[in-house]
Amino acid sequence: TSLAEGETLPKKAFLVRVKPSRKMKFEAIPLQTVRQFYLKDIVLSDTTLNPGDPEVADKIAAFCQEKVEELLRKAEEEHTGNKRQPKEPLIRLKIEYSGGFPMFNTNRFAQIFTDRVANPRDIIQFYRKKVY
């Protein structure tokens, strides 16, 4: 999967019923064994974090860790209970760090979630706002 926003929607299969009158009816059937995927956009300049703080990188990492924990709790609540559905969700935080914010060590961050998410090395995606 591309880990894009469109992938976060619930997955469904469709059953098409064709009646003798040639009328068709579509029936949506939610899939029960799809790996869960959660995507969250974070704009650091919209938070209370201060880019001038000497410990801001650690504070950003702690902020992101809490967001991932929230998404893990949500995944646990929304799990279908089907034993064939993977327990570890895909999680992606897209972090816009324009405005003087630093990036933090994503490898060290990934180690925290190694056994709890399906994509520990791809949880964080930093990007800067494009200025034209």
Give tens-digit pLDDT for 78-128. 999 999 999 999 999 999 999 899 999 999 999 999 999 999 999 999 999
Positive or negative CA dihedral for 69, 73, 75, 81? positive
Over residues 16-34, mean pLDDT: 91
Instruction: Specify burial of residue 17 (Cβ count, 10 A radius: 0-12, 13-18, 19+).
Output: exposed
Residue 3 has pLDDT above 80, yes or no: no
Residue 5 has φ and ψ, to the nearest 5°, of -55, -35
Residue 131 has pLDDT above 90, yes or no: no
pTM: 0.85
DSSP type of residue 114: T
Q: Which distant-in-sequence residues (6+ apart) come within 8 Å of 60 by Cβ?
A: 44, 49, 95, 97, 101, 102, 104
Who wins on pLDDT, 112 or 131?
A: 112
